[in-house]
C-alpha cells in the first residue's frame, strides 16, 4: 500500500462530507467524451440536469472513485485548465482528477430503438445492470425513506430511463454489455424499488432476473439490492432465478431513528421482520453472501458501528453509503456526516474486516458513495 491510497481515501471522505463547489455549467462544453450522470436512482445535486453533462463519478487515483456532489460553500472546487480537471482546496491546487470513460456499450440502439444507456444502469464507474420496478409505494403512502429522491428523480431528470422492461430488451441489452469488448464484468448489479405485493416482485423483478440469467454466456454473478418480500419463499426464488448475492438495506440500525427516517419500512414491514428476512436469506445464500447496508450520518457513529458488528456476528455482510442530502428528498437540508465521523466508522469497519477474513464487499471495485472496497483493501490501515 502506498501512502497515496491512504491520502486518497481521506480525500474521498472529505469530498463526500463537504461536496465540491463549482460552476454548474463547468462540463457542458468540455470537449472530451466521458460518462455523464444517468439519474437512475436519485438526483444528488441541486438543479443539475442531463444538459449539464455532470460526470457520474470522479476518479481520484488509480482505482479510487467518488461521487461528485456539487455543494455551494464547500472549500473544494474544480477548474478545467488545458482540458485537465483540477481539484483545488480554496485557492490551493491539490491534484488532477479524471472523468470516467463512457462505457463502450453506450450510444447503441436496441432493435426497438431504445438507447442502450436508457436501459442499462451502470453502477459506479463500470458495473452494468438494471433498475427494475423504479417505483416505491412508500411515496404514495407519504412514508418514503428520508434520504431517498428516487420518485422525484424518475419523474423529472431521470424520466428518459426505461421503467417497463420488455423481455426482448433485457436479452438484447444483456448480450450487448456482455459481448462488447470493453472491461471485465465480474458482477451484474440489479436494484429494485419497492413493490406493494409479492406477486409484483415476481413479475417485475424475479422474472426479468431469470431472463438476464438465461441470456448470460458465460454465467456471471448477479447481485441485487432489494426490499425483502413479505413471503420469505421469494428469497429462494431470487436464488433460483440466478441471483448469487442479495442486499436488504436496513439503512439505520437504531430502532427509534429507523422508525423516523424510514417510516415506510417501519410501518409496512417492521424492524424485526427485516432482521428475520436477513437471517432467512443467510440460510439460502450462505454466510456473508447477504448484505445489510447502513447509511453513515443518519445516526451517531457508534450506532452504525454497533450495527455493523451485530450484522457480522450473524453471518451477514455489511455495506454502506455515506449520506448525501439529495435536494428532492425529505432530508434535503440535513447535514452530511463530518470527515471525522466518516473516518471513525471506516476505521471500525477496517477492524471488522481484519477480524473476519470471510467478510467481503459486494463489489470488487471502488464505488461512488461508499468506502467499503477501499477499507477492505486495507487502505486505511497503518
Which of 19, 193, 242, 315 is the binder for ligand SF4 (CB under 6 A)?
193
- For position 261 contacting ligand SF4 by CB under 6 A, the verdict is no
Omega of the bond leading into 218 within 30 degrees of 0 (cis): yes
**Contacting range for ligand SF4; rule: CB under 6 A; set: 81-89, 145-153, 280-288, 306-314:** 145-153
Instruction: Please state the closest distance from residue 134 (CB atom) to ligand SF4, in A.
Output: 9
> Do 279 and 250 meet the contact criterion of CB atoms below 8 Å apart?
no
Q: What are phi and psi of 260, to 5 degrees?
A: -75, -45
| Site size with ligand SF4, rule: CB under 6 A | 11
**Contacting range for ligand SF4; rule: CB under 6 A; set: 28-36, 140-148, 233-241, 336-344:** 140-148
- Nine-digit cell at 87? 481539484
- For position 154 contacting ligand SF4 by CB under 6 A, the verdict is no
Instruction: Please state the closest distance from residue 329 (CB atom) to ligand SF4, in A.
Output: 9
**Contacting range for ligand SF4; rule: CB under 6 A; set: 13-21, 22-30, 74-82, 136-144:** 136-144
Instruction: Please state the closest distance from residue 11 (CB atom) to ligand SF4, in A.
Output: 28
Q: Which of residues 35-94 bind ligand SF4 (CB under 6 A)?
A: none
Q: Name the residue nearer to ligand SF4 (CB basis): 227 or 282.
A: 227
Q: Name the residue nearer to ligand SF4 (CB basis): 145 or 375.
A: 145
Give one word for 374, left, alpha or beta, with left for phi > 0 and alpha for psi -120 to 50: alpha
How far apart (Å, rounded) are the C-alpha atoms in residues 214 and 171?
Answer: 8
Instruction: Please state the closest distance from residue 41 (CB atom) to ligand SF4, in A.
Output: 8
- For position 194 contacting ligand SF4 by CB under 6 A, the verdict is yes
Q: What's the Cα-to-Cα distance from 220 to each of 5, 54, 282, rounded to whole Å?
A: 29, 31, 20
Cβ burial, residue 368 (10 Å; 0-12/13-18/19+)? buried
Cβ burial, residue 84 (10 Å; 0-12/13-18/19+)? exposed
Q: Name the residue nearer to ligand SF4 (CB basis): 95 or 267.
A: 267
- For position 227 contacting ligand SF4 by CB under 6 A, the verdict is yes
> Do 91 and 75 meet the contact criterion of CB atoms below 8 Å apart?
no
- For position 136 contacting ligand SF4 by CB under 6 A, the verdict is yes
DSSP string covering 301-346: HHHHHHHHHHHHHTT-EEEEEE----TTSTTTTSPPPPHHHHHHHH
- For position 228 contacting ligand SF4 by CB under 6 A, the verdict is no
The residues of the shown chain that bind ligand SF4, judged by CB under 6 A, are 136, 138, 144-145, 148, 150, 193-194, 227, 264-265
Amino acid at each position: 500500500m502506498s501512502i497515496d491510497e491512504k491520502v486518497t481515501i481521506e480525500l474521498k471522505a472529505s469530498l463526500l462530507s463537504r461536496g465540491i463547489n463549482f460552476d454548474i455549467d463547468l462540463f457542458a462544453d468540455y470537449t472530451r467524451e466521458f460518462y455523464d450522470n444517468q439519474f437512475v436512482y436519485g438526483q444528488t445535486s441541486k438543479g443539475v440536469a442531463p444538459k449539464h453533462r455532470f460526470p457520474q463519478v470522479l476518479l481520484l487515483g488509480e482505482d479510487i472513485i467518488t461521487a461528485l456532489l456539487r455543494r455551494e460553500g464547500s472549500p473544494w472546487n474544480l477548474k478545467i485548465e488545458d482540458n485537465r480537471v483540477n481539484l483545488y482546496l480554496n485557492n490551493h491546487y491539490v491534484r488532477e482528477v479524471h472523468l470516467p470513460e463512457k462505457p463502450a456499450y453506450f450510444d447503441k440502439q436496441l432493435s426497438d430503438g431504445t438507447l442502450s444507456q436508457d436501459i442499462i444502469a451502470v453502477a459506479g464507474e463500470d458495473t452494468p445492470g438494471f433498475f427494475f420496478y423504479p417505483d416505491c409505494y412508500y411515496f404514495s403512502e407519504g412514508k418514503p425513506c428520508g434520504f431517498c429522491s428516487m420518485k422525484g428523480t424518475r419523474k423529472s431528470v431521470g424520466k428518459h430511463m426505461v421503467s417497463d422492461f420488455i423481455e426482448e430488451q433485457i436479452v438484447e441489452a444483456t448480450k450487448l454489455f456482455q459481448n462488447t469488448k470493453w472491461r471485465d464484468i465480474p458482477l451484474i448489479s440489479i436494484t429494485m424499488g419497492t413493490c406493494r405485493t409479492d406477486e409484483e416482485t415476481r413479475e417485475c423483478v424475479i422474472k426479468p432476473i431469470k431472463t438476464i440469467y438465461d441470456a448470460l454466456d458465460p454465467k456471471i454473478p448477479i447481485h441485487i439490492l432489494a426490499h425483502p418480500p413479505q413471503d420469505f419463499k421469494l428469497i429462494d426464488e431470487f436464488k433460483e432465478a440466478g441471483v448469487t448475492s442479495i442486499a436488504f438495506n436496513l439503512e439505520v440500525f437504531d430502532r427509534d431513528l429507523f422508525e423516523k427516517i424510514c417510516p415506510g419500512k417501519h410501518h409496512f414491514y417492521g424492524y424485526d421482520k427485516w432482521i428475520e428476512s436477513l437471517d432467512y436469506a443467510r440460510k439460502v445464500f450462505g454466510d456473508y453472501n447477504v448484505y445489510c447496508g447502513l447509511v453513515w450520518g443518519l445516526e451517531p457513529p457508534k450506532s452504525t458501528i454497533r450495527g455493523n458488528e451485530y450484522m457480522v456476528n450473524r453471518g451477514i455482510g455489511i455495506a454502506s453509503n455515506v449520506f448525501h442530502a439529495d435536494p428532492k428528498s425529505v432530508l434535503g437540508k440535513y447535514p452530511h456526516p463530518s470527515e471525522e465521523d466518516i473516518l471513525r466508522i471506516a476505521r471500525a469497519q477496517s477492524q471488522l474486516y481484519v477480524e473476519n477474513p470471510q467478510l467481503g464487499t459486494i463489489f470488487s471495485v471502488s464505488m461512488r458513495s461508499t468506502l467499503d472496497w477501499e477499507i477492505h483493501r486495507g487502505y486505511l490501515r497503518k
